Structure 1
């Protein structure tokens, strides 16, 4: 039985992660962490998550919490995740990370911090989204350079990063399949007299509003035909279930930097 720590445990995603851990065979909640000063500190994590009392109080002491845990699930923000990774590395603990918005430099820093341990980092833990990554790679390879590529993503009005990490990863997958450098061809903004669309660019459009959990569509647009590959999230539970699955998969890994493609055997 793996003991799992969840950080950001009082938030909406944290509650779903706690529920997914408790519902997963082979996992149990060992600790629930929140930021210092959070008004829910000391309250029962299970009650806050809607799972019923688990007799695990919300704490702000990550280092102490990790003494009784095997893996930390972190769905916070890059800067917070990096600080948590330092604590995990010092304690010799593993991580499953669903935080989004990492810069290339931050990803490299994370890899350095956790070089002697094991982690799964994925911008989206959903099984369906990761199946889309696989489909996008195959579609791009088949269609080649004869189709323009545009990506549109929609999320709730509380999301802090844009575009979403999932949308960026979709763009990276397509760019890699087409032999392009995503950082060179991504186009995040069009306004005014911006000229004709270049052949190699990958357009990225962001929509924010209401309570949209997450929607992503990649358009392959040719002359006289269009292919759309879409994924729509109906709840946060699918992300939480994917994170629980990643914990179980990571249990026998001593060290390494993995993603959900590894977890799902899609390499």
Structure 2
């Protein structure tokens, strides 16, 4: 498994300044930085290409780096004493991961797909942030968003049926991908590069239950399944199902 690293280019994508051509900057921590700050950030970071399956951080050990995801998807996971795995979340392009003061340190972070990230020394990034209140404010905003996502996850793992969980997951991922790909705002396609086992470990279900529920959704014309994704064919019905109601169309009922 080969992990490649290189300096971050100052003028990527034809931009006129440091990192100004980055396609995900507007969605991430760097959005608050001006051209001068972006050049400093570029000097402090390196671009790392991770192949699918590579570990960005190990559970219980953490990592001395933080990652700004540029492309690809990563999973954040914790292991239970009996060996079961709980996936806490999925990092998409624009997400900033690894800046945690937890003790013992953090969860395992692994590449789901081939991915590229701007990698900073945690110490260097923290020193940069301390000198820039606008960056601290941006981090505070992102932390609040992450806390809200954790609260949603707790609700998702609570007293919900498998159908409600999967419907909520599909709608949640659709919103996240649509925010990143603004040019595809009207698209009803949801990229799902993670496998059924990853989805099951995120939703607290078995792989078999996730597969059966996907099949039921497809047969009921709620979704159209394609490799590495799904088309939302009845988003309103999925929303009602995710909220604990019953879709209007026949055959879309929830399970127990």
The TM tier, using the shorter chain, reads 0.3 to 0.5
| Structure with larger RCO (C-alpha < 8 A, sep 6+) | 1
User: Structure 1 length normalisation: TM-score?
Assistant: 0.32
User: Structure 2 length normalisation: TM-score?
Assistant: 0.33
